[in-house]
Amino acid sequence: MEGTEQAEKKEKKKVILSGIQPTGVFTLGNYIGAVKNWGKMQDEYDCAYFIADLHSLTIRQDPAALRKQSLDAFALLLACGIDPEKSLVFIQSHVPAHSELSWVLSCYTQFGELSRMTQFKDKSARHADNVNAGLFTYPALMAADILLYQADMVPVGHDQKQHLEFTRDVATRFNNLYGSTFKIPEAYIPKAGARVMSLQEPTKKMSKSDENPNAFITILDEPNVIINKFKRAVTDSEKEVCFREGKDGINNLMTIYSVITGRTLEQIEQEFEGKGYGDFKLAVGEAVSEELREVRENFKRLSADKAYLEQVYQAGAQKAAAISARTLAKVKKKVGLLVK
């Protein structure tokens, strides 16, 4: 009896889903804006996290490097505290339902709405020699990722807000046409750290594919590398550590320090009153390095155990296939595909 009650309680947990591309080692932005929060949600929610390898094909990748990065990214998720005993963890391309639903949704998506996506505009400007159809229809695949699992909430950084709104639009459109099929997901965007900025151009978001390695911290950077990158971070010609419009570099460092230490912006201003930027940058570097120590150690251990990683992603793929098949079958029936 008690077991049944517990099972029902588990049944009622809200579903959280999010993914990350294996386009390189996760940055401090990915960590603060997304992955750090994913770990914290595992007890309260039914969580599903995946490596979005299909999404990363929208930019030209070296095949061998992508394979390695995908396995490394999987290990990184676990190293950041995603526990496969509590959460579903898998690799997107291992679950064909993502591509199948993406196709159906793209047939319910208008050219005009995809043309408005800022990520498409940014990435097509950055990769002008490869403005492919996948880059354009990326949001339909992201919508499929989310809707297949009937997610209630999607924890993402600020840059993904527009894609989330698109997901809600396409799901609502489909539900209006065919009756309730998809849960309409909410974005879960952290109050602080949802947009960690580049250390070199603090008006631009920190990105793992930035050409300048000094612009981002990766979560596997060694302590001396982290400290040096913060030392070189672009700030301004003033001396005061305070959060104010126009002080983009300092605002970014203060936000990072605040999320890592739990101190408020006011407390940080007090802590560094009368001290220069040098002291402040060193403190940020040391705090970040310490925060990431466990991740570095976990990754070292996990990435050496390929058999364990394979076992976890195989089990994840099986479970994800079973969940997503239910939604996909519903969709196929509703749009008129002959179900075998």
**Residue numbers of the site for ligand AQP (CB under 6 A)?**
20-21, 23, 27, 29-30, 33-34, 52, 156-157, 159-160, 194-196, 205-209
Active site residue 330: no
Q: Which of 36, 183, 208, 229 is catalytic?
A: 208
Q: Which of 36, 205, 229, 247 is catalytic?
A: 205
21/87 with CB nearer ligand AQP? 21
199/241 with CB nearer ligand AQP? 199
CB of 87 to ligand AQP, least distance (A): 16
148/331 with CB nearer ligand AQP? 148
> Which single residue brings its beta carbon nearest to ligand AQP?
33
Q: Three-class SS string for the chain?
A: CHHHHHHHHHHCCCEEEEEECCCCCCEHHHHHHHHHHHHHCCCCCEEEEEECHHHHCCCCCCHHHHHHHHHHHHHHHHHCCCCCCCCEEEEHHHCCHHHHHHHHHHCCCCHHHHHCCHHHHHHHHHCCCCCCHHHHHHHHHHHHHHHHCCCCEEECCHHHHHHHHHHHHHHHHHHHHHCCCCCCCEEECCCCCCCCECCCCCCCECCCCCCCHHHCCECCCCHHHHHHHHHCCCCCCCCCCCCCCCCHHHHHHHHHHHHHHCCCHHHHHHHCCCCCHHHHHHHHHHHHHHHCHHHHHHHHHHHCCHHHHHHHHHHHHHHHHHHHHHHHHHHHHHHCCCCC
CB of 122 to ligand AQP, least distance (A): 9
Active site residue 161: no
27/106 with CB nearer ligand AQP? 27
Q: Which of 36, 123, 183, 229 is catalytic?
A: 123
Q: What token pair was written down for 296?
A: 């570095």
CB of 5 to ligand AQP, least distance (A): 35
CB of 193 to ligand AQP, least distance (A): 6
8/62 with CB nearer ligand AQP? 62
CB of 38 to ligand AQP, least distance (A): 9
Active site residue 123: yes
Residues designated as active site: 123, 205, 208
